[in-house]
A and B are shown apart, each in its own frame.
Chain A
Amino acid sequence: MIAFGLGVVTLRSPISCAMCLVSSFICLAAVFVTLDAFFIAIVQVLVAAGAVMVLFLFIIMLLNLQAEECRRVKLGVMLGGTVVVLSFVVLLSQALESSPQFSKPIPVLMAPSQDVSMIGMTLFHSFNLPFQIVGVLLLVATVGVVLLSRRTLR
Chain B
Amino acid sequence: MTTLSHYLMASGLLFSLGLAGVMLRRNILIIFMCLEMMLSAVNLSLVAFSRYGIVNGIQNYDAQVLVFFIITVAAAEVAVGLAIIVALFRSRQTTHSEDLNAMKF
Which chain B residues lie closer than 8 Å to A134 at the CB level? 69, 72-73
Give the distance to chain B from A5, nearest Cβ to Cβ, in Å.
Answer: 4
Judge whether B101 is part of the interface by a CB distance below 8 angstroms. no
**Contact A141-B76, Cβ < 8 Å, known A71-B26, A119-B68:** yes
Select A9's contact among B15, B17, B32, beta carbons within 8 Å: B17
Which chain B residues lie closer than 8 Å to A21 at the CB level? 33, 36-37
Interfacial residues of chain B within 51-86, with CB under 8 A of chain A in the complex: 51-52, 54, 57-59, 61-62, 64-65, 67-69, 71-80, 82-86
Are A141 and B17 closer than 8 Å at their CB atoms? no
Chain A interface bracket (under 10, 10 to 19, 20 to 34, 35 or more): 35 or more
Sample of 17 A–B contacts (CB below 8 Å): A2-B10, A17-B30, A24-B14, A24-B40, A35-B7, A35-B47, A37-B47, A84-B19, A88-B16, A89-B13, A93-B12, A103-B4, A107-B52, A109-B57, A121-B61, A123-B68, A141-B76
Query: Which residues of B are in contact with A by a Cβ distance under 8 Å?
Result: 1-5, 7-10, 12-21, 23-27, 29-30, 32-34, 36-37, 40, 43-44, 47-48, 50-52, 54, 57-59, 61-62, 64-65, 67-69, 71-80, 82-87, 89, 95-96, 98, 105
